[in-house]
Chain A
Amino acid sequence: MTTEPILETFALTRHFGGLAAVDQVAIELRPGELHAVIGPNGAGKSTLINLLSGDLKPTAGRIRFAGREVAGLPAHRMAQLGIGRSYQKTNILRALSALENVRLAAQARHGQTRLLRIAGREASLVEHARRALARVGLAAEDKSAGSLSHGGQRQLEIAMTLATDPSVLLLDEPLAGMGPEETRHMVALLRQLAADHAVLLVEHDMDVVFAVADRLTVMVNGSVLASGTPEAIRGNAAVREAYLGEAVA
């Protein structure tokens, strides 16, 4: 891959009190590339995503997105610029229908300049939402989001992120809690998405990670331990020792 990075960080750092949850992290995401971040619990993977999505403000360091400095912008600005995220802990609008969840996501991107139209007559937003639901394979659009199965809620979470038409996708453990069938579907979807998005994937399932990632970054204690192709990471002695163990040897 020789394309320019669309999202890159420089010495990105976030302290919680005395603890450096993310410490001097440099990472690059390129369009058409799936970049997986792995590491033990507490390595700072979710904090990294929270910094990139604007949910948290960095203590120090820079984030450059499509040629502009975006570190410290609030979450809604990041989303409007095209950085979409999903949450590790399902974060949906439980009381509303699945379709309305995704329709709102589409509205966030495409409907904020015509706020005084009757929502029911804005068919383009509904169509947009249906396409996102179809893409993740979720059929139950009329059910309330809270009544979906756990896997269904995870799919909905991804559909919402997709409906905002992001150019960068930050996916925080999208497969957590999905059944085998849903996982297969989601892995196929991840491959598709990587074709025309820059994807940052945080995931614990190593089989999936090594199957879909174009590039891997290993984080330990807030810092980047190693970064490279899956083959290079698999062969990296420090990574084996710190994290992978014998599991993928």
Chain B
Amino acid sequence: MLPRTRLGWWLLALGALLLAAYPWLVPPFYVTLGAKALIWAMLAMSLQLLAGGVGLVSLGHAAFFGIAAYSVHLLTPEYESLSILVTLPVAILAAGVAALLIGALSLRTKGFFFLMVTLAFGQMVFFLFHDTACCGGADGVSVGRPALGALGVEWTLGRGDRSLVYYYVNLAIIIGLYLGLAFVLRSLFGRVLQGIRVNEHRMQALGFDVYRYKLAAFTLSGAIAGLAGHMWVMSDGRVNPELAGWHLSAEGLLMVLLGGLHALHGAIMGALALTGLNEVSQLITERQLLVQGLVVLLIVLLLPRGLAGLSLPGRRHKAEADDDD
């Protein structure tokens, strides 16, 4: 999941630099788009931890994204906004607790059933927001954006520079998230997750309570999806039920698949690529889904290791052949 060579880490750093330079190279509209793409990258990384790290495919992960977003709405008084130092921990906590509960029940099933149960829970959350009066119903509702700053000192952002600031906040989060997950994957905990992905039964026989390890990973992953949901509210200023819907869950998985299951940075590449693809296909045709579908199909067929498998083919194949299945 992580680069094995110094060169790999240098390439990642180069990628981060490119992302940092991006807003200066494109018109303002694309800065907004980039900021959103980085939020999708957060969501994709939360799924990557589960799918690539533990071998769990959840089809209900948008639920945690949505729960975090709606928790910001429920927390924030009308026509006001709260400090990010308040909203962010609450949103992450809400998503994490929801993931703990949903995970505790769903992880009693495996494989296909796990997929279906997470989908069912995800849709329950979707309809909770869609059909109840609490949060604006099907249309959603606007939310006071969490403010950067605390204790009365706030950074007031004009409409113009908002996107740029959000872009860099999101980029900083992505870098922090990558380093944090890199630590998790290299820890003794991460090694257990890898073992579970490869042979769950044997791990259990060796003395690992695999259910608890999977639940811990699921909760962590849900909390990260919550972080993404929070950042979405911040940049969009609205919530609507689609933020918790299965379509977003599936799109997150598509990003992971596109980027490659075997590398953590694949999630970021996949998210950026899919967002870019959506944009380009919208420009050239009205049948954008057709174009997207064909391109995704081609990438998956031609690059079984995803976009992340593209870099340094000769080196990577050899290095990863021992480790990944």
Q: Are A104 and B325 in contact (CB under 8 A)?
A: no
| B247 contacts A by Cβ under 8 Å | no
Residue from A55, A96, A111, A160 in contact with B194 in the complex, judged by beta carbons closer than 8 Å: A96
Contacts of A94 in B (CB 8 A): 198-199, 325
Residue from A53, A103, A116 in contact with B205 in the complex, judged by beta carbons closer than 8 Å: A53
User: Which of A85-93, A174-182, A199-207 is the contact stretch?
Assistant: A85-93
User: Which of B7-15, B71-79, B87-95, B182-190 is the contact stretch?
Assistant: B182-190
Closest to B212 in A: A76
| B80 contacts A by Cβ under 8 Å | no
Q: Are A93 and B186 in contact (CB under 8 A)?
A: no
Q: Are A76 and B199 in contact (CB under 8 A)?
A: no
| B317 contacts A by Cβ under 8 Å | no
Interface string of B189-200 (1 = CB under 8 A from A): 111101100110
Q: Are B207 and A95 in contact (CB under 8 A)?
A: no
Closest to A116 in B: B187
Q: Are B210 and A119 in contact (CB under 8 A)?
A: no
Contacts of A117 in B (CB 8 A): 187-188
| A229 contacts B by Cβ under 8 Å | no
The CA-CA distance from A143 to B322 in the complex, in Å, is 7
Closest to B322 in A: A144
| A164 contacts B by Cβ under 8 Å | yes
| A108 contacts B by Cβ under 8 Å | yes
Interface string of A63-99 (1 = CB under 8 A from B): 0000000000011100110000101000111111100
Q: Are B206 and A105 in contact (CB under 8 A)?
A: yes
Interface string of B287-325 (1 = CB under 8 A from A): 000000000000000000000000000000000011111
Contacts of B183 in A (CB 8 A): 118
Query: Residue among A79, A80, A164 with the most chain B CB within 10 A?
Result: A79
Interface string of B45-56 (1 = CB under 8 A from A): 000000000000
Given contacts A75-B205, A109-B207, is CB(A104)–CB(B191) below 8 Å?
yes
> How far, in Å, is A8 (CB) from chain B's closest CB?
22
Q: Are B192 and A104 in contact (CB under 8 A)?
A: yes
Interface string of B153-196 (1 = CB under 8 A from A): 00000000000000000000000000000010011111110110
Q: Are A115 and B189 in contact (CB under 8 A)?
A: yes
Given contacts A94-B199, A95-B324, A95-B325, is CB(A119)–CB(B204) below 8 Å?
no
The CA-CA distance from A128 to B280 in the complex, in Å, is 55
Q: Are A119 and B191 in contact (CB under 8 A)?
A: yes
Q: Are A85 and B187 in contact (CB under 8 A)?
A: no
Q: Are B207 and A111 in contact (CB under 8 A)?
A: no
> How far, in Å, is B72 (CB) from chain A's closest CB?
29
Q: Are B204 and A76 in contact (CB under 8 A)?
A: yes
Q: Are B191 and A80 in contact (CB under 8 A)?
A: no
Q: Are A95 and B323 in contact (CB under 8 A)?
A: yes
Interface string of A36-78 (1 = CB under 8 A from B): 0000000000000000010100000000000000000011100
| B120 contacts A by Cβ under 8 Å | no
Interface residues in chain A, defined as those with a beta carbon under 8 Å from any beta carbon in chain B: 53, 55, 74-76, 79-80, 85, 87, 91-97, 100, 103-105, 107-109, 111-112, 114-120, 122, 142-144, 160, 164
Interface residues in chain B, defined as those with a beta carbon under 8 Å from any beta carbon in chain A: 183, 186-192, 194-195, 198-199, 201-210, 321-325
- List 8 extra interface pairs beyond A74-B204, A104-B203, A144-B321, CB under 8 A: A76-B207, A92-B202, A115-B192, A116-B187, A116-B188, A116-B189, A118-B183, A143-B322
